[in-house]
């Protein structure tokens, strides 16, 4: 059979879906599902380890995929976790992560949240000078197991997607590096302040932004150490953000290439003088998960063919609202999960919500589909389920994992009574 390039790319997802249907891991009530290749997730973590110096803490971003059942697999294999809210911190704990391997980032931490983080003994990145002033009243250096750093905006510029770039001249995050004197003074005044943190953005950022940001952070570290009269900075957190490819034919930088670029431009990260942290999320999860939704209805009128499915702006918010930026390749499969072949025609793929913009795709080339078929949505493992919208009170779908050909239910399909309980 002849398949398009996108369909060939979807072949592994099709085989996994077919196996899940055959073994009844999915049943007729499962109108949609999110499925993770857990072995692929393991391989992703190993690739990160291989690219960095041994002992680097790869604190995987909880916000990208907050389910403890997924996070715990990475934790069991040596990953840490990065939390951007107090509930995310507790999701990290629920995943079995030791507090010393949790990084707590947020631009809006309250005093009770800071107090709790300090008592737990996590790695805490303060966002600004006001937060440091709050910590002055909370930190008991001899007794606290927590370590504390300051987030600095390296001001290296924006990537291709402004909304996910955070290192321009202005950012809501961190203190700008142009305040170098005030930053150094903050460290001189606080012996307990021993870390530096930065993040340049996510998706659409070239490697040069990451390496330039890390270089600026390390140069700042040198000046802080000099002003403090010794090796004050013991921990450098270079964030995450490495982009991934969502489109057939696009390339993405490999983790090996990223590590090599850092080793060339920032050798201090590899000489053993620092504890190095990363915060990968999208790169870790996106390509290891795909979504599948049953086609419920097919609607035709002149110039338009529409497949109505059970996922849309509830799970793919960015795709439906900003489709030109947040693309997902789609493929069609039959009721048994096998890829469909044949001539492709333009199809709209519409979600189930009462919202006229609820389209995963418009005029996308697909073979003819019918009720009972499936639409496969590729690279859906990051920032999809995590961004679930409660609009129309749709039930969250089942989440499966597959490892060694065996399926495990990571999260059951939400029940109607669960949704009612949420709103109560």
Are residues 401 and 299 located together in one domain of the fold?
Answer: yes
Q: What is the CATH number of the domain that holds 131?
A: 3.20.20.10
Number of domains the chain is built from = 2
Contact (Cβ atoms closer than 8 angstroms) between residue 106 and residue 84? yes
* Domain boundary residue, one of 227, 251, 284: 284
HSE (side-chain half, CA atoms, 13 Å) at 45: 22
Tokens of 185: 């003074």
Are residues 61 and 84 located together in one domain of the fold?
Answer: yes
Domain carrying residue 53: 39-284
Are residues 216 and 309 located together in one domain of the fold?
Answer: no
> In this model, does residue 186 exceed pLDDT 80?
yes
pLDDT number for residue 143? 53
Are residues 18 and 67 located together in one domain of the fold?
Answer: no
* Domain boundary residue, one of 284, 311, 326: 284
pLDDT number for residue 142? 47
Per-residue pLDDT of 22-74, as tens digits, reads 999 999 999 999 999 999 999 999 999 999 999 999 999 999 999 999 999 99
Are residues 29 and 79 located together in one domain of the fold?
Answer: no
Are residues 301 and 349 located together in one domain of the fold?
Answer: yes
Are residues 193 and 57 located together in one domain of the fold?
Answer: yes
* Domain boundary residue, one of 266, 284, 302: 284
The alpha carbon dihedral of 153, 156, 157, 158 has a sign of negative
Q: Taking the model in full, what pTM does it have?
A: 0.95
| Mean pLDDT of the 266-284 span | 96
Are residues 257 and 366 located together in one domain of the fold?
Answer: no
Are residues 26 and 46 located together in one domain of the fold?
Answer: no
Are residues 275 and 136 located together in one domain of the fold?
Answer: yes
Are residues 243 and 392 located together in one domain of the fold?
Answer: no
- CA–CA distance, 306 with 364 (Å, rounded to integer): 10
Buried b (16+ CB within 10 A) or exposed e, 166-184: bbbeebebbbbbeebeebb
Per-residue pLDDT of 234-250, as tens digits, reads 999 999 999 999 998 88
Tokens of 283: 């790169």
Q: What is the CATH number of the domain that holds 297?
A: 2.40.37.10
Are residues 249 and 150 located together in one domain of the fold?
Answer: yes
| Mean pLDDT of the 289-300 span | 98
């Amino acid at each position: 059979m002849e398949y398009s390039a996108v369909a060939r790319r979807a072949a592994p997802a099709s085989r996994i879906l077919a196996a899940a249907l055959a073994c009844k891991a999915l049943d007729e009530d499962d109108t949609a599902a999110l499925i993770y290749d857990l072995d692929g997730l393991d391989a992703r973590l190993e690739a990160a380890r291989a690219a960095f110096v041994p002992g680097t803490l790869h604190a995987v971003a909880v916000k990208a995929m907050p389910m403890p059942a997924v996070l715990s697999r990475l934790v069991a294999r040596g990953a840490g976790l990065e939390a951007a809210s107090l509930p995310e911190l507790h999701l990290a704990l629920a995943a079995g992560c030791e507090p010393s391997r949790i990084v707590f980032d947020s631009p809006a931490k309250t005093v009770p949240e800071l107090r709790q983080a300090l008592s737990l003994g996590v790695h805490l990145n303060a966002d600004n000078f006001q937060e440091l002033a709050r910590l002055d009243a909370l930190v008991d250096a001899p007794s606290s197991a927590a370590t504390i750093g300051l987030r600095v905006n390296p001001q290296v510029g924006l990537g291709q997607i402004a909304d996910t770039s955070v290192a321009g001249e202005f950012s809501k995050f961190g203190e700008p590096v142009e305040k170098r004197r005030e930053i150094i003074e903050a460290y001189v005044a606080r012996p307990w302040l021993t870390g530096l943190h930065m993040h340049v953005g996510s998706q659409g950022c070239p490697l040069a932004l990451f390496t330039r940001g890390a270089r600026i952070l390390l140069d700042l570290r040198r000046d802080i150490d000099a002003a403090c009269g010794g090796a004050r900075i013991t921990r450098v957190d270079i964030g995450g953000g490495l982009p991934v490819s969502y489109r057939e034919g696009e390339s993405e930088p490999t983790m090996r290439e990223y590590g090599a670029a850092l080793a060339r431009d920032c050798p201090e990260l590899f000489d053993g003088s620092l504890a190095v942290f990363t915060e990968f999320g999208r790169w870790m999860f996106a390509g290891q998960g795909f979504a599948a939704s049953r086609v419920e209805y097919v609607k035709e009128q002149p110039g338009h063919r529409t497949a109505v499915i059970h996922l849309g702006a509830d799970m793919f918010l960015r795709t439906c609202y900003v489709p030109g930026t947040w693309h997902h390749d789609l493929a069609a499969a039959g009721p048994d999960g096998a890829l469909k072949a044949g001539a492709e025609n333009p199809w709209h793929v519409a979600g189930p919500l009462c919202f006229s913009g609820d389209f995963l795709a418009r005029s996308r080339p697909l073979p003819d589909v019918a009720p009972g078929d499936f639409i496969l949505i590729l690279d859906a493992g990051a920032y999809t389920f995590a961004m679930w919208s409660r609009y129309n009170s749709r039930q969250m779908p089942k989440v499966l994992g597959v490892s060694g050909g065996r399926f495990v239910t990571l999260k059951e399909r939400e029940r109607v009574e669960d949704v009612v309980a949420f709103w109560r």
